[in-house]
Amino acid sequence: MVFYDYLLHFLKAFDAMGTKAMVHLTHSDDHRRYFKAMEELTDIINTALDEGELIAASVLTIRLADTYLFATPYLIRTFGQEMTAPLMNFAQSLLVLAHEMASLVESPGAVLQ
């Protein structure tokens, strides 16, 4: 929930301030809020993987990719498509990884790399 709270905060900042919102989001409190949420989500994914819960890890990895995809249109408006492309590529790689994890449940003999 902390991550979705941040996303709503991000959206409200952009709706209220437009492209000037990036100045607002560079405040240290906002950075801490974002990275705390990212850290918590990553810890939960790691815990799910450690416990062999591949479906849960897969779903959470999709949520992590969603958060990057959610921010992309706003970041494109601010920084341009070229600067935002790595974020899109990373989100896509997370979606592929999530699919591979879920596929392991169907094919337990496969190796995830």
Selected residue with higher pLDDT from 38 and 80? 80
Q: From CA 71, how far away is CA 11, in angstroms rounded?
A: 8
The torsion of the CA quartet 21, 23, 28, 34, rounded to 10 degrees, works out to 30
Dig out the tokens for 7 from the structure: 């996303």
Q: Which of helix, strand or coil describes residue 52?
A: coil
**Phi, psi values for residue 111, rounded to 5°:** -110, 130
- Per residue in 17-71, pLDDT (tens digit) is 665 555 555 556 665 666 777 788 889 999 999 998 989 999 999 988 888 888 7
Q: From CA 83, how far away is CA 58, in angstroms rounded?
A: 27
Selected residue with higher pLDDT from 4 and 44? 44
98 pLDDT higher than 90: yes
Q: From CA 53, how far away is CA 46, in angstroms rounded?
A: 10
Dig out the tokens for 60 from the structure: 């959470």
89 pLDDT higher than 70: yes
